[in-house]
Amino acid sequence: MICQFQRTIKRPISIEGIGLHTGKKVKLKLYPAKKNEGINFIRKNTLIPAKIDYAHSFDYSTSLMKDGVVVKTVEHLMAAFYFTGIDNVFVEIDEEELPILDGSSKEFVEAIKKAGIETLNEEKFYAVIERPVQVINGDKFIKAKPSSITKFSYQADYNNTIIGKKVFTYVPNDKKSYEGIFTARTYCFLEEVEYLRSVGLAKGGSLKNAVVFHNDNVLNEEGLRFEDEPVRHKVLDLVGDLYLLGYPLVGEVFSFKGGHRLNAEFVKTLLKENAFLIKPSSEVIKTINENYRNAGIKI
């Protein structure tokens, strides 16, 4: 989301649901925050900044931890904050895992829009990629390069006729790609379910909050929301995980078969290699919008 000023929510938001992996009922409350306070989770009287420094676990989701207090599966809400341009908010949670809801960011985005978005009297800051950077793990990789048009792309590589080797690219502020990403649901294969539950995961998973594949079939009665929904969801996860950098990225990012662990490694590499500069919106937004228009992207 390309914005000039920082944002928060106008009113508190309450959301209830179950955790995908814990299966526990959870209550989530979002509260407005002041400028430059950032995104922070609150659990057991512990404030956990939504920053990569506190990233803790990456097995089928992204978790944060501070002083032994854990908050799990933050990526869909983090993506919703990115999609709506939220920079500052407090997220209070009464259990260890955020609610999975329908498996996408849809209900988070809708709740934020319903509560209203407050524009704050402070410039927004962006992390502008200055030089190419990449991380590689076996046959998986994520690479990024400077670009005046921000793009987040994901390419899958499944031996499955539905997902296959599809690619999806999300361009912030491009209406078409935006509308086709935040509603994309998480997914798994039926043969994975038994394993996940044997290691204490997916206890709250069902056809109501995930797309389930068996061989080349979709088990959900309603089918897919998009023919490439799984790949779109991978981009959603990528966006949510990258927002743990603390700033929205300006640049082009391409992920091949990446997941939460590689996403986190990529963010850490950006920091380690000083591959970006933090710039206020006044230095970047005019150029960004001009390049979007020149490229024929509707904003």
What is the mean predicted confidence (pLDDT) over 218-232? 95
d(CA 232, CA 252): 16
pLDDT on residue 149: 86
What is the mean predicted confidence (pLDDT) over 179-207? 86
Question: How high does pLDDT run on average in the chain?
Answer: 93
What is the mean predicted confidence (pLDDT) over 277-297? 77
Instruction: Indicate the CATH number of 126-294 among 3.30.1700.10, 3.40.50.150, 1.20.120.50, 3.60.20.10.
Output: 3.30.1700.10
At 101-120, the pLDDT tens digits run 999 999 999 999 999 999 99
Judged by DSSP in three states, 193 sits in helix
Spans of all domains in the chain:
5-124, 126-294
Just list the catalytic residues: 260
pLDDT on residue 290: 67
Backbone φ, ψ for residue 171 (5° rounding): -115, 110
Is residue 246's pLDDT more than 90? yes
pLDDT on residue 291: 66
Is residue 215's pLDDT more than 90? no
Amino acid at 214: H
- One fold for 5-124 and 126-294: no
Is residue 234's pLDDT more than 70? yes
Specify burial of residue 216 (Cβ count, 10 A radius: 0-12, 13-18, 19+). Answer: exposed
CATH level 2 (architecture), domain 5-124 = 2-Layer Sandwich (3.30)
At 142-180, the pLDDT tens digits run 999 999 889 999 999 998 888 999 999 999 877 777 778
Is residue 299's pLDDT more than 60? no
Judged by DSSP in three states, 16 sits in strand
What is the mean predicted confidence (pLDDT) over 62-84? 97
